[in-house]
Amino acid sequence: MDEARIEDDLRSPAWVWASWATVANNSFATYGAIAPPTVTLRCQRVGGHLVLTWMTGTLQSADSVLGPYSDIAGAASPFMVDPSSPREYFRVRIGR
């Protein structure tokens, strides 16, 4: 395989041909940068508890905002934080 692409859209036969023709003519195509996915970690207070929600990724926590962060085993959205637990910092890891 000489050239591979990963895309999130369907392409028409004309687009596939034009893409092939670009490579076949030894022309170089320019592609945009790959932007990292964005995730929003939402929090709200429900009945004295903090409830965290997110759409994708793995919830992590740390004792310091600087980390180190560790995956929270089995955490699923929505995730309820016990108000009596020590202060924790949360983030969502995408990938690996």
Structural domain boundaries enclosing 70: 42-93
Q: Is residue 50 part of a domain?
A: yes
pLDDT one-digit tens code per residue, 10-39: 888 888 887 777 777 765 667 777 777 788
Q: Is residue 20 part of a domain?
A: no
Q: Is residue 12 part of a domain?
A: no
The mean pLDDT value for 70-77 works out to 93
- pLDDT > 90 in the chain, percent: 35
Total domain count, the chain: 1
Q: Is residue 31 part of a domain?
A: no
Question: Is-contact 80 90, C-beta < 8 A?
Answer: no
User: Per-residue DSSP letters for 65-86?
Assistant: TT---EE-TT--SSEEEPTTSP
Q: What is the mean pLDDT of the chain?
A: 83
For residues 46 and 62, what is the distance between their CA atoms, to the nearest angstrom? 22
For residues 61 and 33, what is the distance between their CA atoms, to the nearest angstrom? 30
